[in-house]
Amino acid sequence: MNSSARSVAPGLVVAVDGTSGSGKSSTSRGVADRLGMRYLDTGAMFRAMTWWLLRAGVDVHDPTAVAARCAEPAIVSGTDPLAPTITVDGVDVATAIRSDEVNAAVSPVSAVPEVRSRLLELQRAVIAAESAESGIVVEGRDIGSVVVPDAPVKLYISADAAARAVRRAAEQGGADVAATQESLLARDKIDSGRATAPLTMADGAVHIDTTPYTLDEVIGLVVALVEDVGAHP
Protein backbone atom coordinates (compact mmCIF):
# COMPACT_ATOMS: atom_id res chain seq x y z
CA MET A 1 0.00 0.00 0.00
CA ASN A 2 1.22 3.49 -0.77
CA SER A 3 2.84 4.81 2.41
CA SER A 4 1.51 8.29 1.62
CA ALA A 5 -2.01 7.08 0.87
CA ARG A 6 -4.81 9.31 2.14
CA SER A 7 -7.67 7.81 4.07
CA VAL A 8 -11.22 7.75 2.74
CA ALA A 9 -14.59 7.37 4.35
CA PRO A 10 -15.28 3.85 5.66
CA GLY A 11 -17.59 1.95 3.34
CA LEU A 12 -16.89 4.14 0.32
CA VAL A 13 -17.32 2.27 -2.98
CA VAL A 14 -15.96 3.58 -6.27
CA ALA A 15 -17.59 1.78 -9.22
CA VAL A 16 -15.51 1.75 -12.40
CA ASP A 17 -16.98 0.42 -15.65
CA GLY A 18 -15.69 0.67 -19.18
CA THR A 19 -14.48 -0.91 -22.36
CA SER A 20 -11.62 -3.39 -22.78
CA GLY A 21 -8.21 -1.77 -23.05
CA SER A 22 -9.39 1.65 -21.87
CA GLY A 23 -7.09 1.62 -18.86
CA LYS A 24 -9.70 0.98 -16.20
CA SER A 25 -7.68 -1.71 -14.42
CA SER A 26 -4.51 0.37 -14.14
CA THR A 27 -6.58 3.41 -13.18
CA SER A 28 -8.53 1.50 -10.54
CA ARG A 29 -5.41 0.03 -8.95
CA GLY A 30 -3.68 3.42 -8.97
CA VAL A 31 -6.62 5.20 -7.36
CA ALA A 32 -6.99 2.52 -4.69
CA ASP A 33 -3.29 2.72 -3.87
CA ARG A 34 -3.22 6.52 -3.65
CA LEU A 35 -6.28 6.64 -1.39
CA GLY A 36 -5.47 3.64 0.79
CA MET A 37 -8.43 1.64 -0.52
CA ARG A 38 -8.93 -2.01 -1.43
CA TYR A 39 -9.41 -3.12 -5.05
CA LEU A 40 -11.56 -5.74 -6.78
CA ASP A 41 -11.17 -6.87 -10.39
CA THR A 42 -14.51 -8.49 -11.24
CA GLY A 43 -13.32 -9.31 -14.75
CA ALA A 44 -10.71 -11.62 -13.26
CA MET A 45 -13.52 -13.52 -11.54
CA PHE A 46 -15.24 -14.18 -14.87
CA ARG A 47 -11.91 -15.25 -16.34
CA ALA A 48 -11.33 -17.57 -13.39
CA MET A 49 -14.74 -19.15 -13.92
CA THR A 50 -13.95 -19.56 -17.62
CA TRP A 51 -10.57 -21.14 -16.84
CA TRP A 52 -12.23 -23.66 -14.52
CA LEU A 53 -14.95 -24.56 -17.04
CA LEU A 54 -12.35 -25.14 -19.74
CA ARG A 55 -10.29 -27.32 -17.40
CA ALA A 56 -13.44 -29.24 -16.48
CA GLY A 57 -14.15 -29.96 -20.15
CA VAL A 58 -17.39 -27.95 -20.24
CA ASP A 59 -18.50 -26.62 -23.62
CA VAL A 60 -18.35 -22.88 -22.94
CA HIS A 61 -20.61 -22.20 -25.92
CA ASP A 62 -23.41 -24.26 -24.37
CA PRO A 63 -25.20 -22.01 -21.84
CA THR A 64 -27.05 -24.94 -20.29
CA ALA A 65 -23.83 -26.86 -19.67
CA VAL A 66 -22.13 -23.77 -18.23
CA ALA A 67 -25.10 -23.04 -15.96
CA ALA A 68 -25.09 -26.60 -14.66
CA ARG A 69 -21.47 -26.41 -13.44
CA CYS A 70 -20.84 -22.77 -12.52
CA ALA A 71 -21.66 -23.21 -8.83
CA GLU A 72 -18.81 -25.68 -8.33
CA PRO A 73 -15.50 -23.73 -8.32
CA ALA A 74 -14.35 -21.83 -5.23
CA ILE A 75 -13.15 -18.46 -6.54
CA VAL A 76 -11.30 -16.17 -4.13
CA SER A 77 -10.15 -12.65 -5.02
CA GLY A 78 -7.41 -10.80 -3.17
CA THR A 79 -7.94 -7.04 -2.82
CA ASP A 80 -4.44 -5.54 -2.47
CA PRO A 81 -4.23 -2.99 -5.32
CA LEU A 82 -0.47 -3.49 -5.63
CA ALA A 83 -0.66 -7.29 -5.72
CA PRO A 84 -4.19 -8.47 -6.57
CA THR A 85 -4.58 -12.24 -6.48
CA ILE A 86 -7.14 -14.74 -7.72
CA THR A 87 -7.39 -18.43 -6.92
CA VAL A 88 -9.70 -21.24 -8.01
CA ASP A 89 -10.03 -24.14 -5.59
CA GLY A 90 -6.84 -22.91 -3.95
CA VAL A 91 -4.84 -22.72 -7.21
CA ASP A 92 -3.22 -19.41 -8.21
CA VAL A 93 -4.61 -18.64 -11.67
CA ALA A 94 -3.54 -14.99 -12.01
CA THR A 95 -1.39 -15.80 -15.04
CA ALA A 96 -3.45 -18.65 -16.48
CA ILE A 97 -6.61 -16.55 -16.82
CA ARG A 98 -4.85 -14.19 -19.26
CA SER A 99 -4.23 -16.93 -21.84
CA ASP A 100 -5.50 -16.78 -25.42
CA GLU A 101 -7.77 -19.75 -24.66
CA VAL A 102 -9.49 -17.89 -21.83
CA ASN A 103 -9.60 -14.65 -23.84
CA ALA A 104 -11.54 -16.44 -26.56
CA ALA A 105 -14.02 -18.05 -24.17
CA VAL A 106 -14.74 -15.46 -21.48
CA SER A 107 -17.43 -13.51 -23.38
CA PRO A 108 -19.84 -16.45 -23.91
CA VAL A 109 -19.31 -17.57 -20.31
CA SER A 110 -19.95 -14.04 -19.03
CA ALA A 111 -23.25 -13.90 -20.90
CA VAL A 112 -24.76 -16.86 -18.99
CA PRO A 113 -27.21 -15.49 -16.37
CA GLU A 114 -26.37 -18.21 -13.82
CA VAL A 115 -22.68 -17.28 -14.01
CA ARG A 116 -23.44 -13.61 -13.49
CA SER A 117 -25.75 -14.40 -10.56
CA ARG A 118 -23.14 -16.61 -8.88
CA LEU A 119 -20.35 -14.08 -9.28
CA LEU A 120 -22.58 -11.15 -8.33
CA GLU A 121 -23.11 -12.83 -4.96
CA LEU A 122 -19.35 -13.29 -4.53
CA GLN A 123 -18.62 -9.71 -5.62
CA ARG A 124 -21.08 -8.18 -3.19
CA ALA A 125 -19.69 -10.31 -0.36
CA VAL A 126 -16.14 -9.08 -1.07
CA ILE A 127 -17.31 -5.47 -1.34
CA ALA A 128 -19.19 -5.64 1.96
CA ALA A 129 -16.27 -7.22 3.79
CA GLU A 130 -13.41 -5.22 2.31
CA SER A 131 -14.95 -1.75 2.07
CA ALA A 132 -15.90 -1.48 5.72
CA GLU A 133 -12.64 0.06 6.95
CA SER A 134 -10.85 1.52 3.95
CA GLY A 135 -13.33 1.67 1.08
CA ILE A 136 -12.91 -0.21 -2.18
CA VAL A 137 -12.50 0.49 -5.89
CA VAL A 138 -14.41 -2.08 -7.95
CA GLU A 139 -13.91 -2.41 -11.70
CA GLY A 140 -15.79 -4.29 -14.37
CA ARG A 141 -18.58 -3.83 -16.87
CA ASP A 142 -21.74 -3.69 -14.75
CA ILE A 143 -20.52 -2.36 -11.41
CA GLY A 144 -22.42 0.93 -11.35
CA SER A 145 -25.46 -0.44 -13.14
CA VAL A 146 -25.91 -3.79 -11.35
CA VAL A 147 -23.35 -4.72 -8.70
CA VAL A 148 -23.34 -1.50 -6.65
CA PRO A 149 -25.96 0.82 -8.18
CA ASP A 150 -25.88 3.08 -5.11
CA ALA A 151 -22.10 3.61 -5.19
CA PRO A 152 -21.27 7.25 -4.28
CA VAL A 153 -18.76 7.44 -7.15
CA LYS A 154 -19.51 5.91 -10.54
CA LEU A 155 -17.17 6.14 -13.51
CA TYR A 156 -17.34 5.01 -17.11
CA ILE A 157 -13.88 4.82 -18.68
CA SER A 158 -13.40 4.56 -22.42
CA ALA A 159 -10.83 5.36 -25.10
CA ASP A 160 -10.55 5.53 -28.85
CA ALA A 161 -10.47 2.01 -30.33
CA ALA A 162 -7.09 2.59 -32.00
CA ALA A 163 -5.55 3.83 -28.76
CA ARG A 164 -6.96 0.87 -26.86
CA ALA A 165 -5.53 -1.54 -29.41
CA VAL A 166 -2.05 -0.03 -29.15
CA ARG A 167 -2.14 -0.24 -25.35
CA ARG A 168 -3.44 -3.80 -25.23
CA ALA A 169 -1.00 -5.00 -27.91
CA ALA A 170 1.87 -3.55 -25.88
CA GLU A 171 0.59 -5.30 -22.75
CA GLN A 172 0.60 -8.56 -24.69
CA GLY A 173 4.22 -8.18 -25.69
CA GLY A 174 3.85 -6.68 -29.14
CA ALA A 175 0.75 -8.41 -30.50
CA ASP A 176 -0.62 -7.35 -33.89
CA VAL A 177 -2.39 -4.02 -33.34
CA ALA A 178 -4.99 -4.45 -36.10
CA ALA A 179 -5.95 -7.91 -34.88
CA THR A 180 -6.06 -6.64 -31.30
CA GLN A 181 -8.38 -3.80 -32.28
CA GLU A 182 -10.70 -6.21 -34.07
CA SER A 183 -10.77 -8.43 -30.98
CA LEU A 184 -11.52 -5.50 -28.66
CA LEU A 185 -14.37 -4.26 -30.83
CA ALA A 186 -15.83 -7.76 -31.00
CA ARG A 187 -15.69 -7.99 -27.20
CA ASP A 188 -17.38 -4.58 -26.88
CA LYS A 189 -20.20 -5.72 -29.17
CA ILE A 190 -20.78 -8.92 -27.20
CA ASP A 191 -20.63 -7.22 -23.80
CA SER A 192 -22.91 -4.35 -24.85
CA GLY A 193 -25.44 -6.59 -26.55
CA ARG A 194 -25.91 -9.39 -24.03
CA ALA A 195 -29.32 -9.71 -22.42
CA THR A 196 -28.04 -9.96 -18.83
CA ALA A 197 -26.15 -7.00 -17.30
CA PRO A 198 -24.85 -5.49 -20.54
CA LEU A 199 -21.95 -3.07 -20.62
CA THR A 200 -23.50 0.37 -20.25
CA MET A 201 -22.81 3.71 -18.62
CA ALA A 202 -24.71 3.71 -15.34
CA ASP A 203 -27.05 6.53 -14.36
CA GLY A 204 -25.05 9.20 -12.62
CA ALA A 205 -21.68 7.96 -13.88
CA VAL A 206 -18.91 10.36 -14.89
CA HIS A 207 -17.54 9.53 -18.35
CA ILE A 208 -13.77 9.80 -18.76
CA ASP A 209 -12.24 9.36 -22.23
CA THR A 210 -8.64 8.40 -21.45
CA THR A 211 -7.37 8.77 -25.05
CA PRO A 212 -5.60 12.14 -24.58
CA TYR A 213 -4.34 11.49 -21.04
CA THR A 214 -1.46 9.66 -19.42
CA LEU A 215 -2.30 7.03 -16.80
CA ASP A 216 -1.07 9.30 -14.02
CA GLU A 217 -3.32 12.09 -15.25
CA VAL A 218 -6.37 9.82 -15.31
CA ILE A 219 -5.62 8.57 -11.79
CA GLY A 220 -5.37 12.19 -10.65
CA LEU A 221 -8.73 13.03 -12.21
CA VAL A 222 -10.42 10.12 -10.45
CA VAL A 223 -8.78 10.83 -7.09
CA ALA A 224 -10.10 14.40 -7.33
CA LEU A 225 -13.60 13.11 -8.08
CA VAL A 226 -13.51 10.78 -5.08
CA GLU A 227 -12.39 13.61 -2.82
CA ASP A 228 -15.16 15.82 -4.18
CA VAL A 229 -17.84 13.44 -2.91
CA GLY A 230 -16.55 13.58 0.62
CA ALA A 231 -13.67 11.13 0.90
CA HIS A 232 -12.60 13.07 3.98
CA PRO A 233 -15.59 13.22 6.31
**pLDDT tens track for 145-158:** 999 999 999 999 98
Mean pLDDT of the chain: 86
Of 115, 132, 157, the residue nearest 26 (C-alpha): 157
Q: Is 90 exceeded by the pLDDT of residue 77?
A: yes
Q: Is 80 exceeded by the pLDDT of residue 187?
A: no
Between residues 175 and 24, the one the model is more confident about: 24
DSSP state of 83: S
Q: Are 167 and 215 in contact (CB under 8 A)?
A: no
Out of 3.40.50.300, 3.90.25.10, 3.40.30.10, 3.40.630.30, the CATH code matching 13-223 is 3.40.50.300
Per-residue pLDDT reduced to its tens digit, 57-74: 999 999 999 999 999 999
- Domain range summary for the chain, segments of one domain joined by +: 13-223
Least confident piece of the model among 145-149, 186-190, 193-197, 226-230: 193-197
Residues comprising the chain, all counted: 233
38-65 mean pLDDT: 97
- Which pLDDT does position 213 carry in this prediction? 83
**Residue set of the binding site:** 18-26
**d(Cα 207, Cα 33) in Å, to the nearest integer?**
21
Our measurement of the distance from residue 174's CA atom to the centroid of its chain's CA atoms, rounded to an integer in Å, reads: 23
Beta strand 136-140 pairing with 13-18: parallel
- Which pLDDT does position 18 carry in this prediction? 87
Predicted structure pTM score: 0.84
144-172 mean pLDDT: 81
From residue 67, alpha-carbon distances to 70, 115, 152 in Å are 5, 7, 33
**d(Cα 92, Cα 136) in Å, to the nearest integer?**
22
Least confident piece of the model among 15-29, 82-96, 198-212: 198-212
**Residue set of the binding site for ATP:** 18-26
